[in-house]
A and B are shown apart, each in its own frame.
Chain A
Amino acid sequence: MRSDHNRVPADLLTLTDLSKAYPGVLANDGVSMGIRAGEVHALLGENGAGKSTLVKMIYGLVKPDSGHMALDGQPYAPAEPRAARAAGVAMVFQHFSLFEAMSVAENVALGMERPPRLRDLAARIRAVSESYGLPLDPGRIIGDLSAGERQRVEIVRCLLQDPRLLIMDEPTSVLTPQEVEILFQTLRKLRDEGVAILYISHKLHEIRALCDTATILRRGRVVGTCRPAETSAREMAETMVGAAFAAPARLAGTPGDVALDLSGLSVASPAAFGTSLRNIHLSVRKGEILGIGGVAGNGQDELLAALSGELRTPADAIRLQGRPIGRLGPAARRRLGLLSAPEERLGHAAAPEMSLSENTLLSAAQREGLVARGFLRRERMRAFASRIIERFDVRTPGPDTAARALSGGNLQKFVIGREVLQRPEVLVVNQPTWGVDAAAAAAIRQALIDLAAKGAAVICISQDLDELMEISDRLGVLNEGRLSDIRDAASLTPEEIGLMMGGAHGMEVAHV
Chain B
Amino acid sequence: MNLGHIDPALLLAALLVAATPILLAAIGELVVERAGVLNLGVEGMMITGAICGFAAAVETGSPGLGFLAAAGGGAVLALLFAGLTQFALANQVASGLALTLFGLGLSSLLGQGYVGIKPPPTPHLDLGPLGDLPFFGTVLFSHDIVVYLGLALVVAVWAGLKYTRSGRILRAVGENHDAAHALGYKVVRVRILAILFGGACAGLGGAYVSLVRVPQWTEGMTAGAGWIALALVVFASWRAGRVVLGAWLFGGVSVLQLNLQAAGVAIPVEYLSMSPYLITILVLVIMSANRSRAPGSLGRVFHASG
Query: A-side interface residues toward B, CB under 8 Å?
Result: 22, 56, 60-62, 80-82, 85, 93, 95-102, 106, 109-111, 115, 272
The residue of chain B having its C-beta at the shortest distance from the C-beta of A56 within the complex is: B306
Rounded to whole Å, the gap between the CB of A271 and the closest CB of chain B is: 11
CA of A16 to CA of B185 in the docked complex: distance in angstroms? Answer: 28
The residue of chain B having its C-beta at the shortest distance from the C-beta of A85 within the complex is: B184
Q: CB distance B171 to A115 under 8 Å?
A: no
Q: CB distance B168 to A100 under 8 Å?
A: no
User: Which residues from chain A contact B1 at a C-beta distance below 8 Å?
Assistant: none
Count A/B pairs, Cβ under 8 Å.
56
The residue of chain A having its C-beta at the shortest distance from the C-beta of B297 within the complex is: A99
CA of A93 to CA of B178 in the docked complex: distance in angstroms? Answer: 11
Rounded to whole Å, the gap between the CB of A428 and the closest CB of chain B is: 29
The residue of chain A having its C-beta at the shortest distance from the C-beta of B179 within the complex is: A97
User: Which residues from chain A contact B165 at a C-beta distance below 8 Å?
Assistant: 109, 115
Complex partner residue of B178 from A62, A81, A97, A101, CB under 8 angstroms: A97
Q: CB distance A109 to B168 under 8 Å?
A: yes
Q: CB distance A99 to B179 under 8 Å?
A: yes
Q: CB distance A80 to B306 under 8 Å?
A: no
The residue of chain A having its C-beta at the shortest distance from the C-beta of B182 within the complex is: A97
A-B contact pairs, 7 of them (CB 8 A): A61-B184, A61-B306, A99-B171, A99-B180, A100-B176, A101-B175, A102-B168
Rounded to whole Å, the gap between the CB of A163 and the closest CB of chain B is: 14
Rounded to whole Å, the gap between the CB of A300 and the closest CB of chain B is: 21
The residue of chain A having its C-beta at the shortest distance from the C-beta of B238 within the complex is: A101
Complex partner residue of A93 from B169, B182, B184, B295, CB under 8 angstroms: B182
* Among all A-B residue pairs, the 10 with the closest Cβ atoms: A81-B184, A97-B179, A99-B175, A97-B182, A82-B184, A62-B306, A80-B184, A99-B172, A99-B176, A110-B172
Rounded to whole Å, the gap between the CB of A265 and the closest CB of chain B is: 25
- Digitize B215-248: 1 where CB-to-A-CB distance is under 8 Å, 0 elsewhere: 0000000000000000000000000000000000
Starting from the known contacts A56-B306, A61-B306, A110-B168, 8 additional A-B residue pairs (CB-CB under 8 Å) come to A85-B184, A95-B178, A99-B176, A101-B175, A109-B165, A109-B168, A110-B172, A115-B165
User: Which residues from chain A contact B184 at a C-beta distance below 8 Å?
Assistant: 60-61, 80-82, 85
Q: CB distance A61 to B182 under 8 Å?
A: yes
Task: State whether the Cβ of B137 lies closer than 8 Å to any Cβ in chain A.
Answer: no
Residue from B168, B183, B295, B296 with most neighbouring chain A CB atoms (10 Å): B183
Interface residues of B in 178-221 (CB under 8 A from A): 178-180, 182-185
User: Which residues from chain A contact B5 at a C-beta distance below 8 Å?
Assistant: none
CA of A272 to CA of B185 in the docked complex: distance in angstroms? Answer: 26
User: Which residues from chain B contact A22 at a C-beta distance below 8 Å?
Assistant: 306
CA of A93 to CA of B184 in the docked complex: distance in angstroms? Answer: 13
**Dominant secondary structure of chain B at its interface with chain A:** helix
Rounded to whole Å, the gap between the CB of B254 and the closest CB of chain A is: 33
How many interface residues does chain B have, given as a range? 10 to 19
Complex partner residue of A272 from B172, B175, B180, B293, CB under 8 angstroms: B293
User: Which residues from chain A contact B172 at a C-beta distance below 8 Å?
Assistant: 99, 102, 110
User: Which residues from chain A contact B295 at a C-beta distance below 8 Å?
Assistant: 101
User: Which residues from chain A contact B183 at a C-beta distance below 8 Å?
Assistant: 81, 97, 110-111
Q: CB distance A101 to B293 under 8 Å?
A: yes
User: Which residues from chain B contact A99 at a C-beta distance below 8 Å?
Assistant: 171-172, 175-176, 179-180, 296
Residue from B175, B178, B295 with most neighbouring chain A CB atoms (10 Å): B175
User: Which residues from chain B contact A111 at a C-beta distance below 8 Å?
Assistant: 183
Interface residues of B in 275-306 (CB under 8 A from A): 293, 295-296, 306
User: Which residues from chain B contact A110 at a C-beta distance below 8 Å?
Assistant: 168-169, 172, 180, 183, 185
Rounded to whole Å, the gap between the CB of A139 and the closest CB of chain B is: 15
User: Which residues from chain A contact B175 at a C-beta distance below 8 Å?
Assistant: 99-102
User: Which residues from chain A contact B178 at a C-beta distance below 8 Å?
Assistant: 95, 97
The residue of chain A having its C-beta at the shortest distance from the C-beta of B176 within the complex is: A99
Q: CB distance B168 to A106 under 8 Å?
A: yes
Q: CB distance A98 to B176 under 8 Å?
A: yes
The residue of chain B having its C-beta at the shortest distance from the C-beta of A80 within the complex is: B184
Rounded to whole Å, the gap between the CB of A462 and the closest CB of chain B is: 25
User: Which residues from chain A contact B179 at a C-beta distance below 8 Å?
Assistant: 93, 96-99
Residue from B178, B184, B295, B296 with most neighbouring chain A CB atoms (10 Å): B184
User: Which residues from chain B contact A82 at a C-beta distance below 8 Å?
Assistant: 184
- Digitize B150-172: 1 where CB-to-A-CB distance is under 8 Å, 0 elsewhere: 00000000000000010011011
User: Which residues from chain A contact B185 at a C-beta distance below 8 Å?
Assistant: 110
User: Which residues from chain B contact A85 at a C-beta distance below 8 Å?
Assistant: 184
CA of A97 to CA of B178 in the docked complex: distance in angstroms? Answer: 7
CA of A101 to CA of B294 in the docked complex: distance in angstroms? Answer: 10
CA of A102 to CA of B168 in the docked complex: distance in angstroms? Answer: 9
The residue of chain A having its C-beta at the shortest distance from the C-beta of B184 within the complex is: A81
User: Which residues from chain B contact A95 at a C-beta distance below 8 Å?
Assistant: 178
CA of A93 to CA of B180 in the docked complex: distance in angstroms? Answer: 12
The residue of chain B having its C-beta at the shortest distance from the C-beta of A81 within the complex is: B184
CA of A93 to CA of B176 in the docked complex: distance in angstroms? Answer: 14
User: Which residues from chain B contact A98 at a C-beta distance below 8 Å?
Assistant: 176, 179
User: Which residues from chain B contact A106 at a C-beta distance below 8 Å?
Assistant: 168
